[in-house]
Amino acid sequence: MLIIHTDGGSRGNPGKAGIGILIEKDGGEKEQIYKYLGITTNNVAEYTALKTALLRAAELGEKDVSVFMDSELVVKQIKGEYKVRNDGLRPLYNDVKDIIKKFDRFEIRHVMRNDNKEADKLANKAMDAECDCGI
């Protein structure tokens, strides 16, 4: 099983945005990914973080994935509890739903910001550095 924590944020909405991803592999090995996105919204950043993490999980050949993120909107949209009403988010939502089909088991859970500190630090690191780092 792969455990993934993701976060996306922007300074301003829209504003300078970045993503942070912490992937915990079997055996305790951790992989960090953080990337500056340029100017975009916080919700686009959250979806981009999730999509990037799932693509990496697929690259690793993982079939059992658990994702934790502090964006209640994204989690509830992926679970089908909220509709995707923003036309700008719909392509990202569709991409994520397609990637999820690659896994035998997928779960996504909303966590409080306090429980997602490492991913948040990585997203802020990307925004501070304004670079594609840790990839």
- Please state the pTM of the whole predicted model: 0.95
Provide block-wise average pLDDT over 10 residues at a time, the chain (135 residues): 97 96 93 96 98 98 97 98 97 98 98 97 93 56
Q: What is the pLDDT of residue 133?
A: 57
* Beta strands 64-69; 2-12: pairing state: parallel
Question: Token pair for residue 7?
Answer: 């976060």
